[in-house]
Chain A
Amino acid sequence: MQVELVNLTKKFMGVTAVNRINIDIKDGEFVAFLGPSGCGKTTTLLMVAGIYKPTEGDILFDGVRVNHLPPKDRDIGMVFQSYALYPHMSVYQNLVFSLMLKKRPKTEMQAEAQRVADIMGIGHLLDRKPGQLSGGQQQRVALGRALIKKPKLLLFDEPLSNLDARLRISMRSEIKKLQNSLGITSIYVTHDQIEAMTMADRIAVIKNGVLQAYTEPEELHDRPRTLFIAEFIGNPPMNLFDVRLEDSGGKMYANLGEGIKLEIPPSRKPKVEPRGSVKMGIRPQDIIIDNNSDLRTEILLIEPMGRDDLIVCRVGNIEIHFLVDPVLKLKRGDSVGLKFDMEKAQFFDTETEKSLLWQ
């Protein structure tokens, strides 16, 4: 099913939780809503579900306005962060509840329950009550309950955030695979950017109820349109410096202060006329150790992150984060030279916080 949100707005007693959001979702697409806590993700999702009525704007399913359609007539399935299984019903009853309401014959209910139980691997749990299941099992049942209706749209509200890290990763790929094979249009709300980056075809970044960007994960990562996106996307977060742009001899330099002056390659020259100082961003993986470099610093802190070590160092008042290979066996206090890969640098206007490279 194709979904379109047009100028969607929700106000709670004068407080605007969602502000004129425009999103179109293609049939079979997997879209993530990403944003910090309280930015209006759940509110948007609940409007799509029909639980909240929009204050303004429209919701279109396959081109038909559904603003006033009650949830039960929207052909949707939803998975909640709290699982929201009916505690007084068995797993089987939870699964077939929606079919029961539609007065389907018993044989069909049993067959359907068996079908989703097989997909989700919960066949052996059908007689249990939700209280007797682990969090991961409950989430599988919740997913099964959403799938049994064969919905045209699946809504996920942070479905994995109550699970432990390991389970989260395996469920992540499982949901993605399932969505792929069933081809159900899906909206997935999360505040975990890794989840959004790995699962979604497109990501809608929301901040304070306003849509910041709506595009593919790589685009968000490589060509952030605003400072907020640059800071929010990517792990570990991007380094941000206040720099002064200087022209000399036909070349452009970024002056970070403390005697650090970096040449900006032509491909990264700001397309918009900058006003005074600007923000320069560079990801920790784009700073490398080069002992021939003039830029020398001492290691303050080493944070092992598994595949890489995150190194924190300081030049004067400037703190720099970068990633190194753990085999280098660097220690605190070691002196290293640094090289910035300026082909990956980002520039933002200090006032508008808009990118000076991508508009």
Chain B
Amino acid sequence: MKEIRSRNPFTRSLPYILLVVLSLPIILGYLWILVSTFSTRCYGLIPVDQQGNYFKGLTLSNWAFLYDKSKTLNASIWLLTLNTLIIAIGLTVGVVLVSMMAGYALSRIKFPGRKSFLSLTLILHSFPSVTLLIAIYFVLRWIASVPVIGRGIPLIGGFGYNTLGGVILVSIALQLPLGIWLMKGFFDNVSWDLERAALIDGCSRWRTWWQIMVPQIKPGIAALSIFSFMEGWKSFLIPYSFMTSQTKATLSTLLNEMLSETSPVNYGTLAAVGLYQLIPVLVFYIFTQKYLLNIFAGGVKGTA
């Protein structure tokens, strides 16, 4: 194929210049977080000390929040991290399990209402979750009144209002349409013959699903897991709306609280907590981006 390329170096570099200029605010934002995390004060991107000397005042004191509760509105950062982790893991497990089963059924089994179910989930997916908050609030309040399930489960508290489980439940529900469609797409790409061979070899339907079909869509499962984990880790709206007590908050809600404090905001600590929340995501992303790309490639790479 012949490459179409403009001779003029200016027109050739124009798209790049445009892209850099447009993403500059974001890049500067991240840079600012990084710099201010390690400095007493900042003038723009330049760290300064108390006396106002440029390029001075580098410090680790902003990271004191790791052991000093007073820096984070008296909430233990480790407890909040654990909470965030529980939400992320709970969301991932729930979404992946349900999507794998629902996606298989929608891909392979003919049942009345299959088409309408598919279009319904698509509509639900495009629903802004904010509009559902009040309705969900009432549902969670009701669940909370159910014995044991409401607020009697260890670790996640339960599935009612003001519990980790409640937040997980709501997040799963909101994430499911995407997950189900994704899994259905991956299952659609697996050959019918593979399944028939398994049935003839003596598998039950469940076993076929678990031992033959699921292994074929591993890349899809990996992608959905990563995606869901990150969704859960950074989620803000649902935990913010349905968890009121300090000890049950997450890293996102803590950041929000710190920002809206009435006393002068400590930007150094704020940036440090922000970076702290960001690190796992970055590390995770670096190691898993090849699986994430599968979501957009949307299929199993063909083996046999």
Q: Which residues of A contact B (CB under 8 A)?
A: 46, 49-51, 70-72, 74, 76-78, 80-88, 97-98, 101-102, 129-131, 133, 138, 145, 149
Given contacts A72-B203, A88-B216, A98-B202, contact A78 B304 (CB under 8 A): no
How far, in angstroms, from A133 to B198 measured CA to CA in the complex? 20
Q: Are B200 and A76 in contact (CB under 8 A)?
A: yes
Chain B min CB distance to A10 (Å):
14
Q: Are A80 and B193 in contact (CB under 8 A)?
A: yes
How far, in angstroms, from A51 to B215 measured CA to CA in the complex? 22
* B139 at interface by CB-CB < 8 Å: no
Q: Are A83 and B304 in contact (CB under 8 A)?
A: yes
Q: Are A46 and B196 in contact (CB under 8 A)?
A: yes
How far, in angstroms, from A82 to B190 measured CA to CA in the complex? 12
Q: Are B303 and A101 in contact (CB under 8 A)?
A: no
- Please name all residues of chain A whose beta carbon is closer than 8 Å to the beta carbon of B199 when the two chains form the complex: 50-51, 70-72
Q: Are A51 and B201 in contact (CB under 8 A)?
A: no
Best-surrounded residue of B191, B196, B200, B215 (most CB of chain A within 10 A): B200
- Of the A-B pairs whose beta carbons lie under 8 Å apart in the complex, a sample of 25, sorted by A's number, is A49-B196, A51-B200, A71-B196, A71-B200, A72-B199, A74-B200, A77-B200, A78-B196, A78-B197, A80-B196, A81-B193, A82-B193, A84-B191, A84-B194, A85-B197, A86-B194, A86-B198, A86-B212, A86-B215, A87-B216, A97-B201, A101-B201, A101-B203, A133-B304, A145-B201
- Please name all residues of chain A whose beta carbon is closer than 8 Å to the beta carbon of B215 when the two chains form the complex: 86, 88
Chain B interface size, as a band, is 10 to 19
Complex interface residues of chain B between 225 and 273 (CB less than 8 A to chain A) = none
- Please name all residues of chain B whose beta carbon is closer than 8 Å to the beta carbon of A80 when the two chains form the complex: 193, 196-197
Interface string of B172-208 (1 = CB under 8 A from A): 0000000000000000000101101111111110010
Q: Are B193 and A98 in contact (CB under 8 A)?
A: no
Chain A min CB distance to B267 (Å):
51
Q: Are A51 and B304 in contact (CB under 8 A)?
A: no
- Please name all residues of chain A whose beta carbon is closer than 8 Å to the beta carbon of B191 when the two chains form the complex: 82, 84
Q: Which residues of B contact A (CB under 8 A)?
A: 191, 193-194, 196-204, 207, 212, 215-216, 303-304
Chain B min CB distance to A123 (Å):
20
Interface of B, helix, strand, loop or mixed by DSSP: helix
Q: Are B203 and A131 in contact (CB under 8 A)?
A: no
Q: Are B193 and A131 in contact (CB under 8 A)?
A: no
Chain B min CB distance to A141 (Å):
10
Chain B min CB distance to A121 (Å):
19
Chain B min CB distance to A80 (Å):
4
The 6 closest A-B pairs by CB, nearest first: A84-B193, A131-B303, A72-B202, A98-B201, A101-B202, A130-B304
Chain B min CB distance to A146 (Å):
8
Q: Are A102 and B202 in contact (CB under 8 A)?
A: yes
Chain B min CB distance to A41 (Å):
15
- Please name all residues of chain A whose beta carbon is closer than 8 Å to the beta carbon of B303 when the two chains form the complex: 87, 129-131
How far, in angstroms, from A72 to B196 measured CA to CA in the complex? 10
Chain B min CB distance to A325 (Å):
45
Partner of B200, one of A78, A129, A138: A78
- Please name all residues of chain A whose beta carbon is closer than 8 Å to the beta carbon of B194 when the two chains form the complex: 84, 86
List 5 additional A-B contacts (Cβ < 8 Å) besides A81-B193, A98-B202, A149-B201: A86-B197, A86-B215, A88-B216, A129-B303, A131-B303
How far, in angstroms, from A77 to B197 measured CA to CA in the complex? 9
Q: Are A72 and B200 in contact (CB under 8 A)?
A: yes
Chain B min CB distance to A35 (Å):
20
Residue in A closest to B190 when the chains form the complex, CB atoms: A87
Given contacts A129-B303, A138-B304, contact A84 B202 (CB under 8 A): no
Chain B min CB distance to A134 (Å):
11
- Please name all residues of chain A whose beta carbon is closer than 8 Å to the beta carbon of B212 when the two chains form the complex: 86
Chain B min CB distance to A69 (Å):
12
- Please name all residues of chain B whose beta carbon is closer than 8 Å to the beta carbon of A98 when the two chains form the complex: 201-202
Chain A min CB distance to B215 (Å):
4
Residue in A closest to B218 when the chains form the complex, CB atoms: A88
How far, in angstroms, from A138 to B193 measured CA to CA in the complex? 14
Chain B min CB distance to A205 (Å):
25
Q: Are A85 and B200 in contact (CB under 8 A)?
A: no
How far, in angstroms, from A70 to B208 measured CA to CA in the complex? 14
- Please name all residues of chain B whose beta carbon is closer than 8 Å to the beta carbon of A81 when the two chains form the complex: 193
Residue in B closest to A79 when the chains form the complex, CB atoms: B197
How far, in angstroms, from A79 to B82 measured CA to CA in the complex? 52
